[in-house]
Chain A
């Protein structure tokens, strides 16, 4: 994953909206450039970026009428730390994930698009596609697992 993907994903866990998460990442990047403070290491920068993204996410949630339930801060902190550790280990899953998305059947990609790009709730997606809600949950869960597996396989393959 790129640092950008990680910070955006951390923001998504707070706001559950991919476009807002992207906006938050942009704000964080802008603040990092205009903050006038130098970070001792990439780790320190990432730590600051995760904290700032979380605060921006909480601010955004407070402005929403029907905001999703926010995960406990202790859990977000754990998740962010794992992302930071991955970043330090030079993880390159971002491109692998993009490649895996390219390989998905059109129907599966359409489902992911409706859920995460259009930002529709699972209930709305089920209604649009004329299927039962639990079928959508199962399909999404299978898709997430398949993408996770696909990334692992791609990362195991030697670089060509």
Chain B
């Protein structure tokens, strides 16, 4: 019933994405601390986020946050909507589709600068 079914995958993905987001959050709290040391140090340090390999890490983070957010709503619906448990596997597939639909346009904005396209008007691929 459980092993190998959608419930197991949603549980595992929820856990793995949650831990990955937490790891990024702890790093992010430390990197943002550098803003208290002035523009030179801060801009030098966060310039790393403009590089293409770190843009790919950002993509993974965005995908993880979107999945974790939408699957979290699914868990809440299972908990609070009396008939929710009957639709848990359908809701899992809805979560996957909505995650992909939100991810693709966001990914375009993050990845386009790698190919020299700036959808926002200005962007850079190298630390300033």
Q: Do A and B bind each other?
A: no
By a beta-carbon cutoff of 8 Å, the part of chain A in contact with chain B is: none
